[in-house]
Structure 1
Amino acid sequence: MSPSTAHISSQLRQLIYYHLDNNLVRNALFLAGRLHAYEPRAAESSYLLALCHLQSGQVKAAYDYSKNFGWRGTHLGCAYVFAQACLDLGKYPEGITALERSKGLWSTKNHWGKHSETRRQHLPDAAAVLCLQGKLFYAHNELNAAVECYVDALKLNPFMWDAFLGLCETGVNIRVPNIFKMTPELSALLASSSQDDLDVSSDKAAHPAGPLQSQPKLNSSTDPFTSLTSRTEAVGTHGSSALWEKLNGSTVSVASTGTSAVPAIREGTETPGGQSSESDDRVMHRTDAPLEPPLAPARKNRTIQTISADHGMDSPPKMKPTGIRPRTRTKPEPDESTTTYTERELSHGVRVGDRKRTVSGSVAHSAQQPTEPGAPQRRSVRLFNQIKPTTSKLSSTALGTKDGREMKKVRATGAKGRTTTAPSVGRVVSGNRKHIGDTHDGEAKDHRPATSASNGTHHTSSRGPSLDRSKAVEALTWLLELFSKLASGYFALCRYRCAEATQIFAALSQGQRETPWVLSQIGRAYYEQAMYSEAEKYFVRVKSMAPSRLEDMEIYSTVLWHLKNDVELAYLAHELMETDRLSPQAWCAVGNSFSHQRDHDQALKCFKRATQLDPHFAYGFTLQGHEYVANEEYDKALDAYRHGISADSRHYNAWYGLGTVYDKMGKLEFAEQHFRNAANINPTNAVLICCIGLVLEKMNNPRGALAQYGRACQLAPHSVLARFRKARVLMKLSELKLALTELKVLKDMAPDEANVHYLLGKLYKMLHEKANAIKHFTTALNLDPKAAQYIKDAMESLDDDEEDDEDMA
């Protein structure tokens, strides 16, 4: 008989997911090919084959195999893989269409809390699809639609960090605390997920790997109290339980062997190939049963007599399996009352003193069940009577005074012989049983703590879910606060509020702050403020913590370029090339190294290689433009900068480059426009503001230039360039006193700057202070001998002006 198609495909699917989960993509791809050959028209087989191709980096193959069902939107997995392939291949409208057509399959899905070590959902939910759709819209330059998708994704799942990064890239204003906060929707999702986790955890507790715990739900064939067959098989299987206990230090559970197949079925239902809804129903069914000790069923005496009759030899040393009872039966059998009375009658004649003992110290059982009331009774019956259900009404007078004393002596002797195994019998099921080795005066005294322990179990089980839920809420709130801080810092950095971003990141806990990502963001913040020495410190720490990190290393190479640290720059380029030769960051570092050595042609080759590896790497295009400007190839520089803006419209460096090129070409209006575009993106950059002021100054608009320079000085009080240009414009406007104030501050900031002293000399010349003018001209001449001709001309003109003044006098 040939196997069914459903079973074969199910086995193949489980094997594929097994290999995918273990990152064995080649094996998964081979198996997906077998499944697709077996079911070439099935959407699931096409999805798995396309998924394996996508994860192995074969994007075009993933596009081809998922197109049939993905383009039409008939299968969510195919549509999702197809859209991912379209994003990589640049076919953005096709991916958007596929996701829109499959909207009915994902719009209502939310897999919050449905992923764990043993469970996962292999198809995406609405948040994941919306995030991918937002990326497609953003790549297609439909920013409004991208923003809507990102916002909807974050509403469903605030931890969708990719969606938040996409929102920052679009340039919209974001109220970060409104994203990362506890909402009623989150609370409801958390409650449902915690209930699911409780179900799974209770199911795991029901099927442990070790033999010490019992199974909460067993069928009648494995219940040691139900039938003769199960009891007989249990004794035959675990007859050597004393040896097992010596080896493992634990008792053998009959129930754990009787239901060894149940956990395997449970695992199967949690794999993606199974039906998750069935597994959830199964878990719910198990945990609904009340945790109450069952009442003893009938035919107990007959069972014991039959066993003793069948086994004429000595029984095993300890009948541990008889202490195992299921706890989930809710209905007692109809003849339980008669069983209780029978046990009470049997217990009147129990005598334990005259027993044989084995080597291990346990009581050996007699070969035949005694029929006389005063005859010694088998140990198994004594165990049954000691561990009777808590509902039994056995009084403390069931044992005589003499029998009670003899029992105490016997138990004391047994405790010496068995120090590790005997006390574990009473704890096997629930923890509310009595130890065999304990002494007690009567059954009534022992029943009271058992009942209270049972009640304690009920209270614990009722408090457990609420306690776990409150802890889950606390954990989720803590995570939301952490994400809110990280997001606030990143958003401030995206808006180039660098000082604010630095403060936010510095306020993080040490464990979160001392991570490569956070330290890189702090380094970027200092880089944007032109504080290159501080930025270098943080990037050095990043490299020491994560030597193979590539992200943000192009910024680090530019920092070293500004610091003129040629050796470290060359070493960084060498390290990055060893890490990944196909990364654009590595080629940028190599290009910066060549650029610092004035080898612009080699630098251009490296920057072009970087943009070939990643066409969306805007910074590579900008660096190309800088090299073209250094070679005075302005047309090529304009093309490079425009490519950078196409890759990232918010890349202000490319806008700045365009303004610089137009300024050099004498197109001042175009230069002003592009400088203003760059300043709108990065309003806190004093260099951009100074560029606008410089263009206005060239356009004979000194008042406008003065306003820009004043703004630049406010943004960067320690900027020498902004203050110098402000003082120069004030001199042009004949605001000599204000100019003198600025230059005095500037002289303290940059005492070794020749231009400052030269401008001070000219100012004192205008103020007719010849001595101070000569003093500063001389200082400027000493600081910059190359400009001696200009300074000497200024000093000579100083004498001419003085002579003219004297003649006029």
Structure 2
Amino acid sequence: MIGRCSSDKKRTIAQEITEMMTYYAFDDAIFLSELYYETATDSDNHEEALFLYADCLYRANKKEECYGLLRSADLSGAKLHYLFARVAFDLSKNDECRGALFEHDNGIIREAILEDSRVAAHANFLHAQLLCDENHMDLAVESCEKALDENIFLWTAIITYLRFGGENLSATFDKHKDKTNGSEVTSPSAVMKSATPSSSSVGPSVSSIATRGRIPSTNPTPEAGNSSRGPSTRRTTRSSVPSVDRELRYLPATTSSRQTTTPVTTSGRTRPVAPRKSSRISEMSSRRSDSSATTASTAAACRAALFTQPERPHTRATHSSRNRSNAALNSDTENSNAANTRSRNTGGSRGSTSSQRVASTGSDRLSDDGLSQMNAPMSSVASSLNNDDLGDAVEVSYDDKYKWLFDLYRHISFIEECISTYNWKTADALFAKLDKEILLNTSMIRLQLGRACFEQSEYRECRVILSDLHERKKWKVEGTELLSTSMWHLQDTHALSALAQTLTTESRERAQSWCVAGNCFSLQRQHTQAIECMERAIQLDKRFAYAYTLLGHELIVQDDLDKASGSFRSALLLSPRDYRAWYGLGLVHLKKEQNTIALTNIQKAVSINPTNRAMLCTLSTIEQQRGKTDTALVLIDRALTLNPLDVACRFNRARLLFESKRNDECLKELEKLKASSPDEAFIYHLLARVHRRMGNTHLALLSYSWAAELDPRGEQNPTDTNHVTREEYEDDEYGSPV
């Protein structure tokens, strides 16, 4: 007690208020701070009292009162200006936010704010958020770089930097070398070369983009077009041919989306179907013959078992399934030797450097030099100070725990860059360098692992990883939107319903919970309720781009194309390089039969993410409709280069060959498909049409019989409830010469 009395002799009112906020007694803190502010006399105490009072109001979520207080006061000092800008931004009062940040209308932040490096970091990022709302991508990236130069631990700034096309994250981390423990992790931009995707190139192209959401998978239906897509397409007990829309249901993270087919009619008109088609064949890409020793399903099961059987060795790698079985854990990721204490001159220049944009696909390979550099120790960089500057320099030292955590943070940031730019090969190397215990016990890394699987359409593995994360930490809702989308693709109605019930009961105020509920209603074909859930998610978080994308797909199903277009455009305002939103916009124009505009939008989506097979399939369908059959086949072959065992892509290739009347090649393709997917009615129906065209009447009748046996009620026929048609099962060659 004597010691306490001694320490309390000079205790101030500000300390009392701070202690109340520390223990969440906000009402008491507000009362005392208001009294302190109104009775403050001298200018110094008045400024301190004003900040304490406004800070209490903001922390108590009384933002309107905080805004009114600061707006009526004469502000001075960096913290007060930043607090006013922050609360104005939260209340969507962007003009007042700019007035607080900028001293003049020249877009330059106040000098008083820039002089305080801690406030400057957050002020620059707030400026970046303002620029994001105005869709100024380059300026937003520049402001994020300035914020990260001051405070590299601003994770949201890193996400925004990557989402808006940040080019080289490693250059930013190089400015903070004095915080590292000495271990070197090569950034993806240091080992991957940029490439521009071309619709005529056979191999996959490279591009840079950060996204979260889901896009429909594009597997056009086997036949000529179906212009509508009805709710009945999701409830089939036997799945229809995988559509691009289903494969692209992404974000959200991420990736992720809904399936939309764009079949071509004999009249040469593109007729897309609704974006999310229930189709089991889309999952066939993971099937392999029993005689194969290393299969995609086996590799996925091994990786998923990592989270249910921790004692097993780590074998996770996110690259395409044919390369994953060779991945192994490298447990010596971090250098255990602590680097010597380094001094840093905080007054030094923080110039930003521009570098080549990172862009990559799953087919890109790391150079041997690049891989060897990932384990090379980082050279020690000490800040040399001239004797004349010793008085002005601030010496900062970091303990070993700080440096270790900084190295892990940098590693996670580079993984995020890989996922944002779809550099799956580099992501493999970075995941493999992580220690097993860190991989198992770090929620963020687990979420990144699940997103990587999701983006590569490995929905079963994504569900295992994210379900385990949710079971271990039920209070976390981040990632549940991707988990629910994976369940949507896998048609897991019971698990999705249980997840939606849990989240909407325990986390009703989180946007992700209502996205999960929307997916649940969508899977049950209750699209009106699904739309209401997505709108509720947007009300809770107006900057949740993934919710806008999901809402757009639901509106496409309801044929409300104008609202769907607006929803996708809203997503693009929040994330201009969201390929799912560009793809969804293309689907809207396809349904409107505006094929030229649709082609432009989908080409934009493919240029952003050239590794998505579903979008390549849709693009090939449009090219075929334009009469460019060779280009269409090149695009299909490019998709198959990414995954030669993708059944959906192979069926689209067979359909293209049939439309081109290359009967022998089409027959060979269909025979292979029949061997790998013997229970799909669409395959037998197309096979029957090929045999009929070739004059093999007996084989045609046999194939028709098999198709009718597998799908007697025509449930695999994607039709719209308002326009019932059996166009997919009608043989357009009856009564016409072959």
TM-score for both structures, normalised by structure 2: 0.62
Partner in structure 2 of residue 100 of structure 1: 102
Does residue 151 in structure 1 map to residue 77 in structure 2?
A: no
Partner in structure 2 of residue 457 of structure 1: none
- What is the CA deviation profile of residues 390-412 of structure 1, one whole-angstrom value per residue up to 9, with x for unaligned ones? xxxxxxxxxxxxxxxxxxxxxxx
Does residue 139 in structure 1 map to residue 141 in structure 2?
A: no
The 5 A counterparts of 1:588-607 are 588-607=515-534
Query: Taking structure 1 as reference, are residues 700 and 192 closer, same or farther at Cα in structure 2, changes over 3 Å only?
Result: closer
Q: How far did residue 510 of structure 1 move?
A: 2.5
Structure 2 CA distance for aligned equivalents of residues 629 and 768 of structure 1: 40
Partner in structure 2 of residue 542 of structure 1: 469
Structure 2 CA distance for aligned equivalents of residues 147 and 15 of structure 1: 41
The one-letter code of the counterpart of 1:13 is A
Q: How far did residue 536 of structure 1 move?
A: 0.8
Partner in structure 1 of residue 211 of structure 2: none
- What is the CA deviation profile of residues 461-498 of structure 1, one whole-angstrom value per residue up to 9, with x for unaligned ones? xxxxx9x97xx575555334312321121112222345
Q: How far did residue 687 of structure 1 move?
A: 1.1
C-alpha contact (below 8 Å) 2:685/2:729 kept by paired residues: no
The 5 A counterparts of 1:380-395 are none
Query: Taking structure 1 as reference, are residues 183 and 743 closer, same or farther at Cα in structure 2, changes over 3 Å only?
Result: same
The share of aligned pairs that are identical, in percent, is 28
Partner in structure 2 of residue 80 of structure 1: 82
Structure 2 CA distance for aligned equivalents of residues 563 and 767 of structure 1: 37
TM-score for both structures, normalised by structure 1: 0.57
Structure 2 CA distance for aligned equivalents of residues 475 and 517 of structure 1: 19
Structure 2 CA distance for aligned equivalents of residues 56 and 593 of structure 1: 35
Partner in structure 2 of residue 126 of structure 1: 120
Structure 2 CA distance for aligned equivalents of residues 666 and 748 of structure 1: 36
The one-letter code of the counterpart of 1:43 is E
Partner in structure 2 of residue 30 of structure 1: 31
Does residue 49 in structure 1 map to residue 53 in structure 2?
A: yes
Q: How far did residue 546 of structure 1 move?
A: 0.8
Q: How far did residue 170 of structure 1 move?
A: 1.1
Partner in structure 2 of residue 520 of structure 1: 447
Partner in structure 2 of residue 646 of structure 1: 573
The one-letter code of the counterpart of 2:434 is L
Q: How far did residue 554 of structure 1 move?
A: 1.7
Q: How far did residue 648 of structure 1 move?
A: 3.1
Partner in structure 1 of residue 538 of structure 2: 611
Partner in structure 1 of residue 497 of structure 2: 570
Q: How far did residue 618 of structure 1 move?
A: 2.2
Query: Taking structure 1 as reference, are residues 680 and 546 closer, same or farther at Cα in structure 2, changes over 3 Å only?
Result: same
C-alpha contact (below 8 Å) 2:633/2:653 kept by paired residues: yes
Query: Taking structure 1 as reference, are residues 681 and 24 closer, same or farther at Cα in structure 2, changes over 3 Å only?
Result: farther
C-alpha contact (below 8 Å) 1:553/1:585 kept by paired residues: yes
Structure 1 CA distance for aligned equivalents of residues 728 and 568 of structure 2: 39
Which has more helix, going by share of residues? 1
Q: How far did residue 190 of structure 1 move?
A: 5.9
Query: Taking structure 1 as reference, are residues 532 and 75 closer, same or farther at Cα in structure 2, changes over 3 Å only?
Result: same
- What is the CA deviation profile of residues 345-400 of structure 1, one whole-angstrom value per residue up to 9, with x for unaligned ones? xxxxxxxxxxxxxxxxxxxxxxxxxxxxxxxxxxxxxxxxxxxxxxxxxxxxxxxx
Picking from 557, 560, 580, the partner of 2:484 is: 557
Q: How far did residue 797 of structure 1 move?
A: 6.4
Query: Taking structure 1 as reference, are residues 640 and 130 closer, same or farther at Cα in structure 2, changes over 3 Å only?
Result: closer
Q: How far did residue 640 of structure 1 move?
A: 2.7
Does residue 657 in structure 1 map to residue 584 in structure 2?
A: yes
The 5 A counterparts of 1:456-535 are 472=398, 475=401, 477-498=403-424, 500-501=426-427, 504-514=430-440, 515-535=442-462
Does residue 166 in structure 1 map to residue 92 in structure 2?
A: no
Query: Taking structure 1 as reference, are residues 526 and 648 closer, same or farther at Cα in structure 2, changes over 3 Å only?
Result: same
Q: How far did residue 645 of structure 1 move?
A: 2.7
C-alpha contact (below 8 Å) 2:141/2:165 kept by paired residues: no
- What is the CA deviation profile of residues 509-558 of structure 1, one whole-angstrom value per residue up to 9, with x for unaligned ones? 22321232222222222222222111110111111111011112122222
C-alpha contact (below 8 Å) 1:83/1:99 kept by paired residues: yes
C-alpha contact (below 8 Å) 2:180/2:406 kept by paired residues: no
The one-letter code of the counterpart of 1:491 is E
Name the SS for the 1:107 alignment partner.
helix
C-alpha contact (below 8 Å) 1:501/1:522 kept by paired residues: no
C-alpha contact (below 8 Å) 1:610/1:620 kept by paired residues: yes
Q: How far did residue 93 of structure 1 move?
A: 4.0
Q: How far did residue 790 of structure 1 move?
A: 9.0
Once structures 1 and 2 are overlaid, which stretch shifts more, 753-762 or 527-536? 753-762
Q: How far did residue 127 of structure 1 move?
A: 2.5
The one-letter code of the counterpart of 1:602 is Q
Query: Taking structure 1 as reference, are residues 702 and 14 closer, same or farther at Cα in structure 2, changes over 3 Å only?
Result: same
The one-letter code of the counterpart of 1:657 is G
The alignment yields a C-alpha RMSD, in angstroms, of: 3.7
Structure 2 CA distance for aligned equivalents of residues 741 and 182 of structure 1: 58
Unaligned residue ranges in structure 1 (runs of 5+): 1-6, 111-123, 195-465, 805-809
The 5 A counterparts of 1:99-498 are 99-101=101-103, 103-110=110-117, 124-176=118-170, 179=173, 183=177, 191=342, 472=398, 475=401, 477-498=403-424
Once structures 1 and 2 are overlaid, which stretch shifts more, 505-514 or 597-606? 505-514
Q: How far did residue 76 of structure 1 move?
A: 1.1
Partner in structure 1 of residue 40 of structure 2: 39
Partner in structure 1 of residue 552 of structure 2: 625
Query: Taking structure 1 as reference, are residues 792 and 81 closer, same or farther at Cα in structure 2, changes over 3 Å only?
Result: closer
The one-letter code of the counterpart of 1:609 is R
Partner in structure 2 of residue 667 of structure 1: 594
Q: How far did residue 796 of structure 1 move?
A: 10
Partner in structure 2 of residue 356 of structure 1: none
C-alpha contact (below 8 Å) 1:658/1:674 kept by paired residues: yes
C-alpha contact (below 8 Å) 1:93/1:140 kept by paired residues: no
Query: Taking structure 1 as reference, are residues 749 and 773 closer, same or farther at Cα in structure 2, changes over 3 Å only?
Result: same
Query: Taking structure 1 as reference, are residues 473 and 18 closer, same or farther at Cα in structure 2, changes over 3 Å only?
Result: closer
Q: How far did residue 585 of structure 1 move?
A: 1.5
C-alpha contact (below 8 Å) 2:85/2:97 kept by paired residues: yes
Larger Rg: 1
C-alpha contact (below 8 Å) 1:181/1:480 kept by paired residues: no
Unaligned residue ranges in structure 2 (runs of 5+): 1-7, 104-108, 182-338, 346-394, 718-725
C-alpha contact (below 8 Å) 1:690/1:722 kept by paired residues: yes
Picking from 61, 66, 70, the partner of 2:65 is: 61
Query: Taking structure 1 as reference, are residues 793 and 76 closer, same or farther at Cα in structure 2, changes over 3 Å only?
Result: closer
Structure 2 CA distance for aligned equivalents of residues 154 and 553 of structure 1: 29
Q: How far did residue 193 of structure 1 move?
A: 8.8
C-alpha contact (below 8 Å) 2:179/2:403 kept by paired residues: no
- What is the CA deviation profile of residues 753-804 of structure 1, one whole-angstrom value per residue up to 9, with x for unaligned ones? 2222333344455566666656544443433334699999869969x98xx9
Q: How many pairs align?
A: 507
Structure 2 CA distance for aligned equivalents of residues 677 and 65 of structure 1: 47
Name the SS for the 1:615 alignment partner.
coil
Q: How far did residue 708 of structure 1 move?
A: 1.9
C-alpha contact (below 8 Å) 2:178/2:342 kept by paired residues: no
